[in-house]
Amino acid sequence: MKIAYLAESPADAAALAMLTEAILARKTEPVSHSGLRHRGWPTVRTVLPAVLKELHYHTDAEGFVLIVDSNGSPPHSKEHEQPNASERKCRLCQLRRIADDVRQNVRPRPTLPLLKIALGLAVPTIEAWLLCGADPHVTEAAWINGLKQGPMPYSKRGLKRKLYGTSHPSLDLETEVMMKAASRLAENLSSLEQLFAQGFGPLRDGLKSW
Ligand SMILES: [Zn+2]
């Protein structure tokens, strides 16, 4: 299956591809696109419409998978999915609104169905997902509790130190460690499903609906 990936770094995208293949239980063939040159929030949000149109009209991509880090923004919640309840500050809700808008306004593709889309939100960063099951203190609930009543259970920099052994890993080290962690999670997604349900759940459900 031909899939385009977008995440905040090439290492993130490689880990995302491994998780996607584990969820879909099949190999995927990556499709390149101009969005790969852009990084980080809010750039991802800004380039998303153009990336989706490019993939829709100019590539044979069947699917598009995107994750962003929540950082300090509100985590996604099921309550946002009630009619007219989408949360303005939630990055997942923002990306969904953009994707829905593009999908409603593109012409049908001559030979391919509408691009399938799956979106996820790593709370607070993809390093937390990759530490899931390896460090029992790292959970979505711990972060959400911290946001509600403080203190924060860990920092983004602290998560990097836990995962890479340094808060400033080289791209090579980052990629190597991320791939190893993603392959551990790909063996068994249940801890990620349980402990990161609000941000990983939408990604899994999106992919499962393809
Ligand atoms: Zn939301």
The 10s digit of each residue's pLDDT in 59-74 is 999 999 999 999 999 9
Greater confidence, 118 or 83?
118
Supply the pLDDT for residue 193.
97
Greater confidence, 140 or 83?
140
Cβ-proximal residues to 118 (8 Å cutoff; 6+ apart), any chain: 20, 63, 64, 65, 66, 202, 203, 206, 207, 210
Decide if pLDDT at 38 tops 80. no
Decide if pLDDT at 39 tops 90. no
Q: Which CATH architecture has domain 2-126+188-208?
A: 3-Layer(aba) Sandwich (3.40)
Ligand 1 mean position to 121 CA, how many Å? 9
Position 36 confidence tier, pLDDT thresholds 50, 70, 90: confident
Global pTM reads 0.95
Decide if pLDDT at 147 tops 90. yes
Decide if pLDDT at 179 tops 90. yes
Ligand 1 mean position to 15 CA, how many Å? 23
Crossing angle between the packed helical segments 140-149 and 197-208, to the nearest 10 degrees: 130
Ligand 1 mean position to 84 CA, how many Å? 11
Q: How confident is the prediction for the chain on average, in pLDDT? A: 95
Supply the pLDDT for residue 117.
98
Decide if pLDDT at 37 tops 90. no
Crossing angle between the packed helical segments 156-164 and 171-187, to the nearest 10 degrees: 80
Ligand 1 mean position to 8 CA, how many Å? 19
Position 97 confidence tier, pLDDT thresholds 50, 70, 90: very high
Ligand 1 mean position to 124 CA, how many Å? 14
Instruction: Determine the Cα–Cα distance for residues 52 and 72; give it in Å rounded to an integer.
Output: 26
Instruction: Determine the Cα–Cα distance for residues 195 and 31; give it in Å rounded to an integer.
Output: 30
Ligand 1 mean position to 70 CA, how many Å? 11
Decide if pLDDT at 149 tops 90. yes
Decide if pLDDT at 47 tops 80. yes
- Alpha-carbon separation of residue 173 from 15, 71, 101, 127, 166 (angstroms): 13, 22, 38, 13, 10
Ligand 1 mean position to 205 CA, how many Å? 14
Q: Which of 7-16, 22-31, 51-60 has the lowest average pLDDT?
A: 7-16
Supply the pLDDT for residue 87.
85
Query: Are 21 and 3 contacting, i.e. CB atoms less than 8 angstroms apart?
Result: no
Ligand 1 mean position to 93 CA, how many Å? 4
Percent of the chain surpassing pLDDT 70: 100
Cβ-proximal residues to 159 (8 Å cutoff; 6+ apart), any chain: 124, 125, 127, 128, 131, 138
